[in-house]
């Protein structure tokens, strides 16, 4: 894209800043025992490989996919802390605690060669600690999501530059204030959960070594304790592998088939982005190819350069696109003759079908994160 190529080299994609916050793929403690790589980390690795090897993704395409991975992980975090998932997670862990207590009571006559009772008791305590962490985090999220009256907007002059909708300064200050208020609670909850996760991993390794090293003896003399430990270890292993596989599949889909991910989000999630009316305000263009086939290294290669012609206007504007710019960064397809394009206020352009679904679920440019609602809000305030 023209605007993409105009950016200085210092704006080259750095995957690290976009991937500083991690969230679990699912909320279940069974999966969090040994947390898989965050979705954004896994997607970034695949995008990095694709951009340097076979697929040769250009910088704008890489940035779009990282933005999509970040958005998907934010959505996933919201789903993971929804009330049905939280209730299921709590019931699941309490069920393990009840089973552990019952087996410990029924196996009083068993004398294992290794302290399996201590291991099972520790496992149950970790379940209870995880339940406490889930409840605290759920309460914190609910409290932070409650709207707080903004009294500073009701000053005597009746105007505040930071209170205008779409004001980036006001948004950044509100975000910093919220971070300062919730910083201590976030640190406490995350530290407690991280400590529980680390201890859980060590505890599972200890249990695995005991079961592998003394399996035959334990199965004969302490069958109840032995099979309960095997069951706990098997659940953790299966769910951990499943979580990693799902994360890798989603990351691969983001890298190679981003339109499919956008279509699923468009069909299955709430459309919290722009409305149809707001999207219709964006200028629409027709693409006309002007490039001719060229012979490169003895092979004839088709040139995709062309012209964007504005639609639905008496004095249409035209803009030339080079061979590199005449491509949609979402679907990675070159523009064809007659392709319908949408151009955002940040001058980034995409296929209509690709960008409209994205804007319905997220009203920001997938390339530079410019919020298109800022333009409509500012226009409305000027008219008033």
What is the rounded distance in angstroms from the CA atom of residue 267 to the CA atom of residue 271? Answer: 9
Residue with tokens 């001058």: 347
Mean pLDDT to the nearest integer, 65-77: 82
Mean pLDDT to the nearest integer, 44-65: 62
Beta bridge partners of 299: 296
Residue 12 above 60 pLDDT?
Answer: no
Residue 359 above 70 pLDDT?
Answer: yes
Arithmetic mean of pLDDT over the chain? 75
Residue 201 above 80 pLDDT?
Answer: yes
What is the rounded distance in angstroms from the CA atom of residue 375 to the CA atom of residue 131? Answer: 44
Q: Structure tokens of 380?
A: 């409305």
Q: Structure tokens of 334?
A: 């070159």
User: 183 vs 376, which has greater pLDDT?
Assistant: 376
Q: Maximum Cα–Cα distance for the chain, whole Å?
A: 91
Between 121-135, 172-186, 274-288, the lowest mean confidence (pLDDT) is in 172-186
pLDDT of residue 94: 94
Give percent of the chain above pLDDT 70.
Answer: 68
CA distances from 66 to 48, 77, 251, 258 (A): 10, 17, 10, 11
Nearest to 24 by CA among 260, 256, 270, 239: 239
- Dump strand ranges (E) for the chain: 284-289, 294-296, 299-301, 306-310, 318-321, 340-343, 349-351
Mean pLDDT to the nearest integer, 293-308: 72
Residue 132 above 50 pLDDT?
Answer: yes
pLDDT of residue 33: 37
Nearest to 59 by CA among 48, 70, 74, 69: 48
> At 120, is the pLDDT very low, low, confident or very high (cuts 50, 70, 90)?
very high
* Residue-wise DSSP of 155-192: -TTS--GGGSTT-HHHHHHHHHHHHHHHHHHHHHHHHH
Q: Element (H or E) spanning 313, and its range?
A: none
Most confident option among 4-18, 43-57, 218-232: 218-232
pLDDT of residue 90: 92
Render pLDDT for 221-274 as a digit per residue (tens, 0 to 9): 999 999 999 999 999 999 889 988 988 888 888 888 888 888 888 887 777 788
Q: Which residues fall within 8 angstroms of residue 353, CB to CB, at 6 or more apart?
A: 340
Query: Is 153 in contact with 361 (CB distance < 8 Å)?
Result: no
What is the rounded distance in angstroms from the CA atom of residue 275 to the CA atom of residue 356? Answer: 10
Residue 162 above 60 pLDDT?
Answer: no
What is the rounded distance in angstroms from the CA atom of residue 193 to the CA atom of residue 364? Answer: 32
């Amino acid at each position: 894209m023209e605007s993409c190529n105009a950016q200085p080299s210092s704006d080259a994609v750095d995957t690290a800043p976009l991937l500083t916050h991690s969230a679990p793929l699912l909320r279940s403690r069974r999966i969090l025992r040994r947390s898989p790589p965050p979705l954004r980390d896994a997607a970034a690795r695949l995008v990095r490989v694709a951009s340097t090897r076979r697929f040769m993704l250009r910088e704008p395409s890489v940035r779009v996919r990282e933005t999509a991975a970040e958005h998907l992980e934010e959505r996933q975090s919201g789903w993971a802390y929804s009330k049905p998932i939280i209730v299921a997670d709590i019931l699941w862990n309490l069920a393990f605690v009840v089973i552990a207590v019952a087996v410990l009571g029924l196996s009083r006559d068993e004398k294992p060669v290794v302290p399996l009772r201590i291991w099972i008791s520790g496992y149950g305590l970790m379940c209870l600690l995880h339940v406490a962490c889930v409840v605290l985090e759920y309460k914190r999220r609910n409290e932070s999501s409650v709207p707080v009256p903004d009294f500073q907007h009701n000053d005597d002059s009746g105007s505040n530059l930071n209170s205008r909708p779409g004001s980036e300064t006001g948004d950044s200050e509100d975000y910093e204030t919220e971070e300062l208020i919730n910083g201590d609670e976030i640190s406490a909850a995350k530290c407690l959960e991280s400590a529980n996760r680390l201890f859980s991993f060590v505890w599972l390794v200890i249990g695995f070594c005991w079961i592998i090293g003394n399996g035959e003896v334990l199965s004969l003399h302490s069958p109840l304790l032995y099979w309960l430990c095997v069951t706990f270890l098997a659940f953790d292993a299966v769910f951990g592998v499943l979580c990693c596989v799902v994360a890798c599949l989603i990351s691969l889909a983001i890298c190679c088939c981003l339109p499919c991910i956008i279509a699923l989000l468009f069909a299955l999630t709430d459309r919290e982005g722009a409305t149809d009316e707001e999207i219709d305000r964006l200028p629409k263009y027709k693409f006309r190819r002007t490039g001719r086939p060229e012979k490169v290294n003895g092979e004839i290669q088709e040139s995709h350069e062309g012209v964007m012609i504005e639609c639905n206007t008496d004095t249409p504007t035209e803009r030339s696109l080079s061979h590199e710019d005449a491509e949609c960064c979402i679907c990675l397809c070159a523009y064809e003759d007659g392709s319908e394009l949408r151009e955002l206020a940040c001058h980034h352009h995409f296929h209509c079908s690709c960008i409209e679904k994205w804007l319905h679920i997220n009203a920001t440019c997938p390339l530079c994160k410019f919020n298109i609602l800022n333009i409509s809000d500012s226009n409305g305030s000027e008219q008033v």
